[in-house]
Amino acid sequence: WQLTFLPSADAAHAGARAGFDAGGLAAMQVIDGSVRNKLTRRHRMMAAGPAGATRGSMIDNNRSGGMMGPTSSEIGSYKPLNPAVNMETGSERPQELLQVEATEDVKTAALLEAGRPIEPAPSSSTADTQTPSASRQQVEPQRYLALQMAALQEIFFSRLNILLVFVPFGLYVKCAEWNTLWIFVTNFLAIIPLASLLGSATEALSSHTGQLLGGLLNATFGNAVEMIMCVQAVKAGLIHVVQGNLLGSILSNLLLVLGMAICASGLLRKTQSFNAQGAAANMTCQAVASISVCLPTMFRAVSGASVSDVLMISRVCSIFLMAVYGLFLYFQLKTHADLFADEGEDEADEQGLSPTFSTVLLIGSTLVVAMCSEALVDSIEGVSETYGLPKAFIGVILLPIVGNAAEHATAVTCAYKGMMDLALGVAVGSSTQIALFVVPCAVMFGWAFDQPMNLAFRDFDTACQMLSVFLVSQVLQHGNTNWLHGAMLMTTYILIAIITWFIPE
């Protein structure tokens, strides 16, 4: 340490200007004629022995009016302190810390020169806890809205949603009572993107719930378009159209969608493997649903069987079918969930729609689908009578395309990318859901509306369902497929579509 002895305040100010060097010199401040040692925060004057006595005598001498400088022995007793060395441990101090402390020393000297008090530095803990939290409160709502807008943009800005322009047009032509063909075509095209929005909202909402509740949501709204159109058609008394629509939805998923998915995968791969156990569980449920449709149909041909008996048997069978679907959900989501795991689960985007936005989108899509489907169903009679379009062809072929267009595209895209398990979950899983849940629900709606909706389908419809389930079971039983299997499934669907065109009214 180099000590500077100053006789006056002016000298102290001068010393404050010139007395500080890189080693951190001490400043001597004079107040009321007394000399006091002003040390910096970094250093502590350690005076002991003769040096301390000499310093005390110098200060007393200064108080008495005299000023005497330090002797050579006194100066020799004070050894310079190296600020780069920790006096307690003897280790070197970091250069960054020395630079910061040197800067603070210069600021301290300037405050001493101006006679201003030295204010303590603000607590770092307070700055760290209060400032970020305050800014976080402002940033979080903005980030939340940005994420929701990005998720909505991803849902709405797709090529399929270009057809949303037909939604207001279809409702307008219905209110304006245009030609039935215009009403049928515009609302037919409008429901296709609405079904996609409804499916996206259902998936987003089910991702925020548990597995069982998510499965129930998918069961309720996963095929909401078919459900809504069935309700509208049952209320209008179009029983054969409802039966044809339900059968067509099952056939289109099992034959057309699955066949196209297998062919798409076969374009890049010689064979495609998948989870055979999960597919077998779905096809077993399909077989049970086919039997439940076949039995009332065969009972109708029994001598002495009345229409009321067939209707009561259908309602009882529907209750058991819904119970089987509940057991299948528990099997799929709880006890044997590993059998239904697919590649797409790990690629799910964590940043999606919130429950609030998902619910709003779900409710809004459902209401619009209900209005468009009502207009579509009301125009079926006029289109069939005026233009000779068979109702069987409308129900089995055309109407299933409306509700399953988005699922068709998803299954084919996933299969083309090699995610065959996900494609099977979309195609076969959707047909299982319709057979075990939507079909019995349609019977229950007919019971509520006092309409003779039953499970006694046309003989041709029942045969098509049984044979299709048998064919798909044969294709999926080995756990791998090739493009030829897909071609056979699509050929079968085309044959059924041709025959439905010639079914008489």
pLDDT at position 32: 41
The residue ranking higher by pLDDT, 351 or 396, is: 396
Nearest CA-CA partner of 295 in 466, 469, 498: 466
Contact call for residues 500 and 393 (beta carbons, < 8 A) = yes
Q: What are phi and psi of 93, to 5 degrees?
A: -95, 150
With a cut of 50, say whether residue 369 has pLDDT above it. yes
Per DSSP, which regions of 261-332 are E strands? 272-273
Q: What is the DSSP letter of 176?
A: T
What whole-number distance in Å separates Cα of residue 155 and Cα of residue 305?
51
Strands 34-38 vs 27-31: parallel, antiparallel or unpaired = antiparallel
| pLDDT tens per residue across span 459-480 | 999 999 999 999 999 999 888 8
Amino acid found at 218 = N
With a cut of 50, say whether residue 416 has pLDDT above it. yes
Nearest CA-CA partner of 406 in 225, 169, 171, 167: 225
Nearest CA-CA partner of 321 in 461, 440, 444: 440
What's the whole-number average pLDDT of the chain?
A: 74
Mean pLDDT of 409-425: 83
Q: What is the DSSP letter of 503?
A: -
Mean pLDDT of 98-108: 53
Report the range of poorest mean pLDDT among 116-125, 418-427, 460-469: 116-125
pTM exceeds cut of 0.75:
no
What whole-number distance in Å separates Cα of residue 183 and Cα of residue 49?
109
Contact call for residues 415 and 272 (beta carbons, < 8 A) = yes
How far CA 229 is from CA of 321, 374, 434, in Å, comes to 21, 7, 13
| pLDDT tens per residue across span 221-273 | 767 788 888 888 898 888 888 898 899 989 998 999 999 999 999 888 888 88
Contact call for residues 279 and 485 (beta carbons, < 8 A) = no
Contact call for residues 486 and 268 (beta carbons, < 8 A) = no
Residues facing residue 31 across a β-bridge: 34
Dig out the tokens for 503 from the structure: 């079914």
Report the SS3 class of residue 32.
coil
pLDDT at position 95: 56
The residue ranking higher by pLDDT, 217 or 147, is: 147
Q: What is the band of 114 on the pLDDT scale with cuts at 50, 70, 90?
A: low
**Neighbour count for residue 387 (Cβ, 10 Å):** 10
What whole-number distance in Å separates Cα of residue 97 and Cα of residue 422?
59
Amino acid found at 428 = V
With a cut of 70, say whether residue 160 has pLDDT above it. yes
Dihedral sign of CA atoms 290, 291, 292, 297 in order: positive
What whole-number distance in Å separates Cα of residue 419 and Cα of residue 414?
5
What whole-number distance in Å separates Cα of residue 252 and Cα of residue 279?
17
